[in-house]
Amino acid sequence: MGHCYSRNISAVEHDEIPEAPDQPPQNHRHASAPQSPLASEVNSYNISPFQSPLPAGVSPSPARTPGRKFKWPFPPPSPAKPIMAALRRRTAAAPQPIPEDVDVRGGGESSGGGERLLDKNFGFGKNFEGKYELGKEVGRGHFGHTCWAKAKKGKMKGQTVAVKIIAKAKMTSALSIEDVRREVKLLKALSGHRHMVKFYDAYEDDDYVFVVMELCEGGELLDRILARGGRYTEVDAKRILVQILSATAFFHLQGVVHRDLKPENFLFTSRNEDAILKVIDFGLSDFIRYDQRLNDIVGSAFYVAPEVLHRSYSTEADMWSIGVISYILLCGSRPFHGRTESAVFRCVIRANPNFQDMPWPSISHTGKDFVKRLLNKDHRKRMTAAQALAHPWLRDENPGLLLDFSIYRLVKSYIRASHFRRSALKALSKAIPEDELVFLKAQFMLLDPKDGGLSLNSFTSALTRYATDAMMESRLPDILNTMQPLAQKKLDFEEFCAAGVSVYQLEALEEWEQIVTSAFEHFEQEGNRIISVQELGAQWQIMPQHTAESSKKDSGPDQSRPPLERNLDKEDFPPPQAPLPPPPRSTEEVMEELREVNYQYTNVADPVESAARRQRVLNGEVQGLMESTAASIVEVE
């Protein structure tokens, strides 16, 4: 499981270099807490662009450039503090010895009234040793390690698998226990996709939890990047990214956000160049509801999205991480650098990626556009995984498109929008580029329209067809409740394009000025660069009331309402049956009427009649008078 680490806390200020411990076995590829070499052993500075920040408790390399102390008048708050707090909760100190009279599995309390113990019984199978034979260790993480194993019996007899072993002694809080429970649930829910690591089963005993998964023997994506000299060609990078996006689009549709996508968490099934890529390590992943925003800071420093540091994010954070991966694949370096985690975080929030230095001038325009649209700091303008698969740069790879869940959010917003906003979206949809139109057409066909239109049943059937059991339980009811207005109408393709277009993402396109100009000209017909009430009413196929009255009287143009140079709302177009607004009145007339109402207020003898009359006046005459007064003053001005 990956984490962002805080700055090192070892005692380097006394210029003492800790001695290097005994080296671990060679098969420990990811040994935890590696120590820095001695000063005498360092010959050159490590210039690897993929060097990650050291974990907490590990001394920095003595070969690094001496740090400088800058004096900030008001230093910015460090985002590393909440990350360290979360890390401490998961790696808390071991608990005190438990009295013999305490039931550990039941989570009971001691006879002396001690604190409540944690229940570490997950309900998994108990006979792991009887079914699998463990082999050598192939990887190690923060809370467990992964070993090679072979099945002894059953349908998988003789098959090699990977077993993730998590020590229960490290589960020192309810949060860490819930992390393990959630990871197993996620693996079980997402298993079966071509680019997701397969989950077979989970076991436990008194000391460990065993998660049996597919064994991927091809190594990490990071290892292959380094073996190629740090970068891929565009053709090879597209093949890798299509597989990453296919898996991401799948688990995003199921309501899962990974939160730790990086090259180390993608494994190849074999050593072949055309091996299938698999997503692993869902230790930081979580289910997310229909309109939920997460706020805990997790992930790996170089791949964390800006909105994660701002503590308000959703599935868009994974797309930022894929943007960082695509940047690395194409140019061989990370887009954001820093000597410390806090420096990296500030760079992520404030700096822009460099697209001027080599090899970016030699990369295709569509390739650069793909990366830029993923590394947009505004998460609303960032492409979704399904949209990225439909990008022109990846079209040659013939990726299979999946249903984009953002379509449901956009359609919900459209059917609840005002008439004016829907008209504006229809105008924008008629001017969108062909690439965006191809994506919307593919989504329209995935929803399986009946009789040329989409009904509530179309959206329901599509979700049922693509959803897993976990999504059916967590997301489907809330989603369908928000789509109830579609029970009375259908969306044809033209209106679906208006509903499925995202204005924020259109703003990120290079053609945005042309799109918005074309949409403006859709309403403006006279060439005076102003949308008048008459032009807007003609598009809506209704006649503004003031214009209708002026045409009935056949009076001059001075009695018609002038063109408006402001944003219009529904009050500019009252319903045809509504009465005409009262004629403008002067301030003196309004004040005289107010004085008459006040006289009625004070010249009533009977107190009972007075109370009833006052209530009647307040509810009727005064309220109506004040409304007409406000309207009259606006008209006079």
Residues in binding site for ATP: 168
Residue 411: exposure state from Cβ atoms within 10 A (0-12, 13-18, ≥19): buried
Reading the block at residue 189, the tokens are 């829910």
Secondary structure of residue 199 in the 3-state scheme: strand
Q: Which residues, in sequence order, are CB contacts of 244 under 8 Å at separation 6+?
A: 195, 261, 266, 277, 279, 322, 325
Residue type, 46: N
Secondary structure of residue 453 in the 3-state scheme: strand
Q: Is residue 606 among the annotated active site residues?
A: no
Residue type, 350: R
User: Using CA atoms in the order 520, 525, 531, 533, what is the torsion angle rounded to 10 degrees?
Assistant: -140
Reading the block at residue 411, the tokens are 């359609």
Nearest to 406 by CA among 512, 502, 288: 502
d(CA 52, CA 222): 12
Nearest to 124 by CA among 175, 169, 165: 165
CB 122 within 8 A of CB 202: yes
d(CA 137, CA 258): 25
Instruction: Count Cα atoms within 13 angstroms, Cβ side, for 531.
Output: 19
* DSSP code, position 218: S
* DSSP code, position 193: B
Phi, psi (deg, nearest 5) at residue 574: -65, 155
* DSSP code, position 362: G
Reading the block at residue 321, the tokens are 């991480």
CB 372 within 8 A of CB 240: no
CB 490 within 8 A of CB 422: no
CB 126 within 8 A of CB 205: yes
Exactly one of 103, 201, 207, 260 is catalytic; name it.
260
How many residues in the chain? Answer: 637
| 561: Cα separation from own chain's centroid | 47
CB 88 within 8 A of CB 170: no
Reading the block at residue 259, the tokens are 């939160």
Residue type, 603: N
d(CA 551, CA 554): 5
d(CA 162, CA 147): 6
What residues are paired with 453 via a beta bridge?
A: 450
Phi, psi (deg, nearest 5) at residue 604: -125, 125
Place of tokens 């900030």: 72
d(CA 325, CA 390): 18
Kindly list the catalytic residues. Answer: 260
